[in-house]
Amino acid sequence: MSDVREKRRLADTLTGRILALLLAVGWVIVMACVDTQAYTAFPLCLIGAAACLLGCFGLLRGDKMVCFSPVNWLAAAVWLYFLVRALCSYSVVEGWGQAALLLACAVYYVAGVTAAQGSGRMVIAALALALVANIAYFGLMRLPESSVLWSGRPECGLTGPNSRPVGLFFYGNFAGFFFMTVGALLLYAALASEKRGWRTLLLLLPALGGIALSFFCDTLSTYISAALLLLVGWVIFCLNRAVAGRRPGFAIILISAALVAGFAVAVYGFLSGGLFEWLSNDLDSHLRYEIWGDLTGHLGEAGACGLGAGASQWAILTSFRDWSAPNFAHNEFLQAWVDYGLIGALLVLLFLVSHLSAGLLALGSDAISSSRRRLTGMALLYVTAMALCAFYDYYWHHAALAASMAFACGVMASPCRRRPLFLRPRRVWMDGRHEALLDVRAARPAERAALILLSLAALGAFVWLGGHFAGPWMAQWSIGSAESRERGAAERCRVLRSLARDYPDYALLNECVRLDPVMEKSLNETIAAMSLTLEANPKNLYNVSMLAHLLARAGRYDEAELIQRRFYEGDGPPPSQIGAWYAVYGRNLLLWGYDDFKKGRHASGLSKMHYAMRMHAHASLHAQTLHRADRTWTVSWRRQEDMEFLRRCKQCVRLRTLMGMPEDDSWSRPLEPGGKPSLYRRWGLNDANN
């Protein structure tokens, strides 16, 4: 009886099954809230605390579990550093979003370690299907156009950055990469399978379908991903077949021929100049080169620990030469350096190198099954592609892609007996026998004491995190009631202002301004709430612009000018076009006014558009359109879209003016001439003849 107890593993007990159920629940929560990390943080903390208690209880009873490998401990240390640094960021909301994303990645990492051990594969497959279904569902959702134009960031809506269900398919680069990668992984699984038959056909059909769908996403990312996946997949496929002692076969010959042909075409294209110009221009479609150039100037300022989560976009905001702020650095390694310092950048590289090495060693071990070898090869392929694509886009900041990468890293780092891949003769590496996987348990008093202390530390950390995220979590759910159309605009604004203390995101107050632009009775309350959001991120220039505008409307010109001048040099605006608050606010007024006009609120819409014209918003938009026209990367339809929108706004203003439609400008009366001179007065915004 004691022998049976000695061999019992934690995963086979009731405690282990409850632990696995908690893991599955956490995974479902993460998937049900794709791209809404702030909704997942608090429940994940509760699940983590319960998992610590259950695991400690099972081990103290004498149950066994698979020992952690050094790579797993390294991953835990890297995760802990990034979590602590994110929570210590000056941008509170960005820090919460990054911390919640890290918690979700931890859930997926543990699931990957479990999957590689052959535990619960059917459950993981079902959860993966649920993930894809959720991504597809949220992909059908779109943000209000006003939120996109106000922030310049499609990820930032009413509920702030990293909190809105945007979905994987909102962004063409992500969708193209997703379809291409899924197709490549299924194709790899079909080719690496030892058995041929109807199962291989079932893998080939969705594989080819995913690859075909990726080319309909209208993005260069598809072609870059295809080239990278083809190259990396070919290398891993050759290694896999060599380990299994089989000849390369026709598939490798075909892939090799495709690579040679592609390389020849690429060389010809670069020599002729056409391919290089096409590649460089398209990569600069989001001003990547300018972003990277500006960020490199802040590497010294970042120091060892960095500027904080999401700080890279605010660091270059005052010097960026476009009207919209860059949401991310479009280079994950550079952003990790700026946000998390030199320590963070080195930890990222160490994490990738260690996990890729662990995957290669696992691939070369004959102690693992063929199914695990195939799964490890797919994980290697995915993580390598994600690491390479991270040089030109922010794939690691997308919840679905980052969690999938964490799962793949867990698969590669799952403990197993390995032999060095390159330090032993090939015959011994292929034919050597290895011991069974070791299990550990807390048997000695010292081990029990260490286990109890470690569990208490983890439990305390999860409880503290849960208390930290409880307020924002409840505030996030309350935002849904504020979005209810059954409430009036004033009541919805009151709810949003009340949430600013627990969730200080300026986007909430942006929505208040949109819902109730007059603010006859709530102007001071909105200013107070806006001040809280500015304290949560003192470098948010959009927040500064909105607060300065509200203070000016209240007649508090000295305070407005004092806040605005924090980002100004002398009497003029900084080189950044974003620095001029009227350019951002004026364009938003054009959009809101046109939206009101289409919905039949002609007087209000006419007033907003007319006021935006007096603010020279049309000149700013026209100058930006001409700026785009001078760049070779610009797509013609985008220029035409901007000009068409401007033409429609002007047409509405002229038409209603000729028809004698009165303007309802009560919302802007606080900006009438009067009060002390300010920047706004010098810009001539109150001149009716302007």
Torsion of CA 482, 167, 339, 220, to 10 degrees: -140
Q: Where are the domains of the chain?
A: 2-445, 487-682
- Residue 565 Cα to chain centre, angstroms: 32
Burial of 69 (0-12, 13-18, 19+ CB in 10 A): middle
Tens digits of residue pLDDT in 362-384: 877 766 777 788 888 888 888 88
In this predicted structure, the answer to whether residue 534 has a pLDDT above a threshold of 80 is yes
| Selected residue with higher pLDDT from 389 and 430 | 389
Residue 633 binned pLDDT confidence (cut-offs 50, 70, 90) = very low
How does residue 177 score in pLDDT terms, banded at 50, 70 and 90? confident
Please compute the mean of the pLDDT values over residues 27-51 and round it to a whole number.
Answer: 69
Residue 598 has pLDDT above 80, yes or no: no
> Span 103-132, mean pLDDT?
70
Quote the percentage of the chain above a pLDDT of 90: 2
- CA dist 335 and 344 (Å) reads 10
Helix (H) or strand (E) run with residue 66 in it: strand 65-66
Question: Which has the closest alpha carbon to 116: 359, 438, 357?
Answer: 359
**Furthest C-alpha separation in the chain:** 96
Task: Give residue-wise pLDDT tens across range 447-492.
Answer: 677 777 878 888 888 888 888 778 777 776 676 655 555 566 677 7
* Residue percentage of the chain with pLDDT more than 70: 53
Residues 13-17: contacts with CB under 8 Å, at least 24 apart: 13/58, 13/63, 15/54, 15/57, 15/58, 15/61, 15/63, 16/58, 16/63
* Band of pLDDT at residue 17, cut at 50, 70 and 90: confident
What is the spatial distance between Cα 583 and Cα 624, in angstroms, rounded to a whole number? 10
- Lowest-pLDDT range, 25-29, 39-43, 411-415, 667-671? 667-671
Res 636: pLDDT: 34
Q: Work out the average pLDDT over 244-262.
A: 55
pLDDT of 28 higher than 50: yes
Counting beta carbons within 10 angstroms of the beta carbon of residue 630, is it exposed (0 to 12), middle (13 to 18) or buried (19 or more)?
exposed
User: Which residue is listed with tokens 């001048």?
Assistant: 565
As a whole number, the mean pLDDT across the chain is 67
- Residue 564, token pair as written in the block: 């605005």
Q: Kindly tell me the burial class for residue 584, based on how many C-beta atoms sit within 10 Å of its own C-beta (0-12, 13-18, 19 or more).
A: buried
| CB 643 within 8 Å of CB 627 | no
As a whole number, mean pLDDT of residues 277-284 equals 55
Q: Which of 281, 175, 180, 279 is nearest to 225 (CA)?
A: 180
| Amino acid, res. 471 | G
Q: Which amino acid is at 620?
A: S
Whole-angstrom Cα distance, residue 195 to residue 200?
8
Mean pLDDT calculated for residue range 67-91: 86
pLDDT greater than 90 at residue 204:
no
Greater confidence (566 vs 82) lies with: 82
Best CA proximity match to 303, nearest among 341, 329, 346? 341
Q: pLDDT at position 351, please?
A: 93
Q: Is 600 exposed, middle or buried (0-12, 13-18, 19+ CB in 10 A)?
A: exposed
How many angstroms from the chain centroid is the CA of residue 403?
Answer: 10
- Checking 657-662 for CB contacts under 8 A at 24+ apart, the result is 657/606, 657/610, 661/602, 661/603, 661/606, 662/603
Bridge partners (DSSP) of residue 66 are 439
- Give Cβ neighbours of residue 335 (< 8 Å, ≥ 6 apart): 295, 312, 328, 329, 394
- Tell me which residue has tokens 């990820």: 155
Residue 511, token pair as written in the block: 């929505």
Reply yes or no on whether the pLDDT at 652 is more than 90: no
Q: How does pLDDT run across 118-144, given as a tens digit for each residue?
A: 655 555 665 566 666 656 655 554 433
Give the predicted TM-score (pTM) of the model: 0.71
